[in-house]
Structure 1
Amino acid sequence: MSARVGVVVMTAILALYLVLIGQRAWLLLTSGDAVAITMGVALVVIPIIGAWAVGRELLFGVQAEKLARRLEAEDALPTEQIDVRTSGRPLRDQADQLFPAYRADVEQHPEDWRAWFRLSLAYDGAGDRKRAREAARRAIKLARG
C-alpha cells in the first residue's frame, strides 16, 4: 500500500511540475526572443517525454501486479523461502540456486506467461532488475495475446 501512496504523491508532484513549467514555457514562447522561444520549446518537450516515461512505468506496474494477482489466485506463485539481509534484500547466493529451475521452465514452455513471470521473480530475487523487467514485459505480452 505504501508503494501506491508513493506513486500517487509522485504523480501529483509531476502534475504540479508540469503546470508550473507550462506557465514558464508560455512566457518564453510568447517573448519574441529566439533564444527564449527555443528554451520554451525545450520546456514543453522535455516534460512531455518525462510524463510519457512515468505513464509507461505506471502501466507496467499495474500490468505486472495484475499478473501477480492472477498467479496468486491460481496458487502458482513461487513458494521457496529465501533468507534476507537486514535491509530486506534477498541473499543472492540462495536466489541464484533457485534460478536454474525457473529458466528451465521457460525453456520448456516458452509461450507460457506464468513461466516468464516466475522467471522475472527469480531474476528480481537474484538482483538482476534489468532481466527481471524484460521477463515481466514478456509475460505481460504473452498474457495479453
Structure 2
Amino acid sequence: MRARTTAFILGAVLVFYLVGCVWRGVLALYTAVDQGSWIAGMLGLAVLAFGFIGSWVLYREIQFGFATERLARALDEDETPGGGLRYEEIDGLPRSPGGRVDRTAADALFARRKADTEATPDDWRCWYRLAAAYYAAKDSSRARGAMRHAVKLELEAAVD
C-alpha cells in the first residue's frame, strides 16, 4: 500500500506541474498573438507539447499499473497445481543483511522462469512470473518489458 500512496502523491504533483505547463503555454501563445512575437508563439507551442506528452505518458503508466494489479489478482486467485505467482520462490531467496536478494540466487530463479516461459510462450502467467524474476534479479527494464508482454497476452486471451 505504501507504493500505491507514493505513486498517487507523485502523480498528483505531476498533474499539478502539467497543468502549470499547459497554462504557461497558453499564456505564451496569448502573448504571441497580442504582441506579434513569433518567438513567444514557438515557446508556447513547445511548452504545450511538453504538457500534452507528459499527460499521455502519465496516463499510460497509470493504465499499466492497473493492468499489472489486475494480473496479480488473477494469479493470486489461480488455484491450479503449479499456478499462482509462487511468492515462496521469491520470498525464499537468500538475502543480504540489508534485505537485497542475492544476485546468484535471483539469476538461478530467472533461469528457471525463462525456461518455463520458453516452453509456453503464449501463457501470460509465465511472462508475469518471468517479470517478477527479472525484478528480483534487479533488471527492471526487462521486467517492465516482460510485464507489458504479459498484459498484451492476457488482453488477447480475453478477446478470444
Q: TM-score, normalised by structure 2?
A: 0.83
For residues 39 and 87 of structure 1, the distance between their equivalents in structure 2, rounded to whole angstroms, comes to: 48
SS at match of 2:114: helix
1:67 to 64, 71, 78: 71
1:42 to 24, 41, 46: 46
1:103 to 114, 117, 130: 114
The runs of 5 or more residues in structure 2 that have no matched partner are none
SS at match of 1:110: coil
For residues 97 and 22 of structure 1, the distance between their equivalents in structure 2, rounded to whole angstroms, comes to: 48
Q: Is the 8 A contact 2:21 2:50 kept in 1?
A: no
For residues 88 and 70 of structure 1, the distance between their equivalents in structure 2, rounded to whole angstroms, comes to: 28
Letter in 1 for 2:26: W
- 1:86 shift after superposition: 4.6
For residues 51 and 84 of structure 1, the distance between their equivalents in structure 2, rounded to whole angstroms, comes to: 38
SS at match of 1:30: helix
Alignment deviations for residues 85-137 of structure 1 (CA, whole Å, 9 cap, x no partner): 35443221110111121111111111111111111111111111111111111
Q: Does 1:77 align with 2:85?
A: yes
For residues 105 and 77 of structure 1, the distance between their equivalents in structure 2, rounded to whole angstroms, comes to: 13
The runs of 5 or more residues in structure 1 that have no matched partner are none
> CA 1:88/1:52 → structure 2, altered by over 3 Å: closer, same or farther?
farther
RMSD: 1.5
For residues 101 and 62 of structure 2, the distance between their equivalents in structure 1, rounded to whole angstroms, comes to: 25
- 1:19 shift after superposition: 2.5
1:94 to 105, 108, 128: 105
**Corresponding residue for 1:55?**
59
Q: TM-score, normalised by structure 1?
A: 0.91
